[in-house]
Structure 1
Amino acid sequence: MVEELAQAEDAIAACADAAAWALPEQELIAALDAAHRIEQRLAAVTLALVRELDGRGTARTQGASSTAVWLRERLHLTIPAARRLVDLAAALDAAPPAVRDALAAGTVTAEQARVITDTIGAVAASAGAEAADKAVGVLVQWAGQFDPTLLRKLGTRILDHVAPEAADAVAAAALKAETDRAARDRHLTISERTDGRLRLSGILDTETAGLLRAAIDPLTVPTGPDDARNPGQRRHDALADVCRLALRTGELPDNGGDPAQIVVTTSYDGLTRQLGSGSLDIGPQLTPETVRRLACDAAILPAVLGSASQPLDVGRQRRLITGPLRRALVLRDRGCAFPGCDRPPRWCDAHHIHHWADGGTTTLHNAVLLCGHHHRHLHHTDWVVRLGGDGHPEFVPPAWLDPDQIPRRNQYHRRT
């Protein structure tokens, strides 16, 4: 075998030195097919050698703790790659000869062989050896058409082809086991960091994962060509929008006798002079800009204290843009009014154009609908919003963006 492999190595070296650019296209494609086939056939040889060495205990004889560790040093592989090699060699050794023959003939790839051995193992356990033997032929045939990922998906329904009488029962049992495992493993961990931020981690069951994706996916689309947020930041902001919507519905259960809400505590002087920071009732501090933005958010209940800590305002209803006034605002703006945004009204806050903290009134002429992203953007940048002569909102860009500062309007929400 060593001599024959040496001859094969010489032939491959000759091919490596050949000028591929000189080949006609059809020969180039044929050479690619041949090289790929030889690669799989060599994989079959490699796996047979690995299995024999593992069975003999060569690794331990040479001082290694396992065959995988020995392969890492011998072939300069990573430990995960070496373990996969050892595992596949063992799986092929235990599989029906047809699988090894297919790999040795180059008709399946090593990754496809891995999928086939995994699948027939599951079939044998659920429907017996006879069904597993039938599954080999079907899977090898499918391997000529499908990549390993799709082959694995198709393999989940292999019993429909080789043992239809057992397929439904096995599928039902597998689904129940998967459902039980998902219910057992579901969890959400919220870890508070020292700076007030939270770290989320967990595993969602299939239904909850579907609910989450359905809720946040429509909100993760970039809001326009100037949206510089990365995908992770967009998902973060989408989750925040979903939470705002849930708070706005008023249908969440009470928490300690009060409606579900955020309470922001700040000093009145600090709020009006745009200097004071604030804090949430759960402790974390907020910047003055964030406090002012939350102070005009219809979904937020602020708690504003005077110098002696007396409550001057705890979400006066006359300040909040709710009821008929919000409905009139929705009829006027039809959604987020910021140029280029298509967020619908239910995802929007009602923003005071002249800030409530500065004495602004709660009227239709002093309000505009903004989605969460653009509400933050307006509070933290030099954009200016105002009502045009026709009573509709228009936004004046900062001078660095448009030296002429030509007012812009949202064109997504059609008005009749």
Structure 2
Amino acid sequence: MSEQVAVDEVAGMVDRLIELSSVVGDDAAGIDMIAAAERLKAAAAAFQLEKITQFARSQAEAKTAMGFEARHAMRGVPEQIGLATKVSPSAAARQLTRARALTEHLPDTFALLRRGEVSELVATHVVNETSHLAADDRRGVDRELAAQLPTLGPRRAQGLARTLAIAADPAGAAARASHARKDRRVSVRPAPDTMTTFSALLPCEQGVAAYAALRRHADTLVAAGDARSRQQIMADTLVERVTGQATADAVTAEIGLVMTDASLLFGDNEPAQVTDYGPIPAETARTLLEQARVFLRRLFTDPATGIVTDCDPRRRRFDGTLARLLIYRDGRCRDPFCDAPIRHIDHIQPHAAGGPTTPVNGRGTCERGNHTRQLPGWTIRLIDPSRYIVETITPTGHRYQSRPPSAPGAQHRQHLRAEAAGSRAA
């Protein structure tokens, strides 16, 4: 079978599944179909992980042949995998690590995944819980797990894998726990209804102590008659102690809030955009503006595309107002499928090649994305200046496009223009 025939056959399976979805039987047959689909998902995951491993090995060999040092042979590989699987390079790097672990060090778990007897989540737990083990110890745990994994849910599978891993190398488990403390961090991610999840990965005793302190403070205020719930008090106290604000609502940090003048001044309901978060209701945006010190900066959008093009000239570095414009325009890293925050402002046509420092030739990227484009075989080019569409060409010749999101109000204005054009035609 040729490579292209194999690719077409795998792609054709998607159409076949769509056809089979219209087959309706009794409930017993429905459960059998659901179970079969679950096995198929696992087998497809194993197939993909194996192909990821093969691709990475081939790319590393090619880089070595080009003269790259062994430690640099994998540069650019997660980025290509991420574009193919429509995830960020960081997520793709984790996917690659998982693929190599299963195919090279956990053969029994991988065989179960390939046959659809365990889920990808269970296999991932085994990978994570055995990551600190030497190769022989890891294979030993893999053999012990194999007989029990098909009968366990994800949480029990994770617990058993952890237990066997600790027993296989107690000293290594302790060292891993010590190393994990170096990875303590704070993160924030969007949650529904204009909320965010603000979390901290901390050593267990610190996390427990911090939570207990917030709880004690909340208990004191509730006992004194505070009308807020205990959880509300704990959340407000966290914000006040971290920021030094007198109250949780007194936001002092700069927040990019992009909204139309109609929503700001005339009660229009076009959703606003918060940089690094996403859309929020216009009414919520107006409430935020009532609570905070406000500095207005006019942004100008293209009437046809609805993309931010300028704000209220010529430099080597994208900084000041120009950098702020690109951050407001792009929102997140402009590499396709990468949702990382903007860390670098990149020249699409490199400055060294004569590229100007202008909004049209600029794009916001994460640090990793800006470095990846420097690797051999990668090309970044502007293919539509009016819509700021950028094309990424990978070393394998695959092409991916990205464009900035439309600014608030753009779709509404385009709808009005279409209606007006229809009226004139009539």
TM-score, structure 2 length as denominator?
A: 0.40
State the structure with more CA Rg.
1
> Larger relative contact order (C-alpha < 8 A, sep ≥ 6)?
2
